[in-house]
Amino acid sequence: KQEVTQIPAALSVPEGENLVLNCSFTDSAIYNLQWFRQDPGKGLTSLLLIQSSQREQTSGRLNASLDKSSGRSTLYIAASQPGDSATYLCAVLLYNFNKFYFGSGTKLNVKP
């Protein structure tokens, strides 16, 4: 069974800092990996999708990288803002199944 781990579980930074969130997975036979954000009491919002053949994907201040062989993905947030405060989740999709497995998330707090 695929295990997905996100470290750290929580992170508090001052506004303006660049930061990195980590996602690791045990089975490298993934089809793709998706990053989401979740605001309190809300659903999940898709941020970035990286296919297994890609190394990076960028959207605005967000950059996600994928290293399948080592079972890791990172989400880089540049020049963080208080509006970035949320829980960030990664999910991996395996080959052979159209089910995706979630990490437990990193709760980010960006202080003004």
Partner 1 sequence: DAGITQSPRHKVTETGTPVTLRCHQTENHRYMYWYRQDPGHGLRLIHYSYGVKDTDKGEVSDGYSVSRSKTEDFLLTLESATSSQTSVYFCAIKDGAGTEAFFGQGTRLTVV
Residues that bind partner 1 (CB under 8 A): 31-32, 34, 36, 42-46, 49, 51, 89, 91, 93, 98-105
Q: How far is the CB of 18 from partner 1 (least distance, A)?
A: 25
CB of 34 to partner 1, least distance (A): 6
- Closest distance between partner 1 and the C-beta of residue 86, in Å? 14
Q: What is the DSSP string of 67-102?
A: ETTTTEEEEEE-S--GGG-EEEEEEEEETT---EEE
Q: Which is nearer to partner 1, 23 or 80 (CB)?
A: 23
Q: What span, in angstroms and rounded, lies between the C-alpha atoms of 74 and 63? A: 8
Q: 14 vs 98, which CB is nearer to partner 1?
A: 98
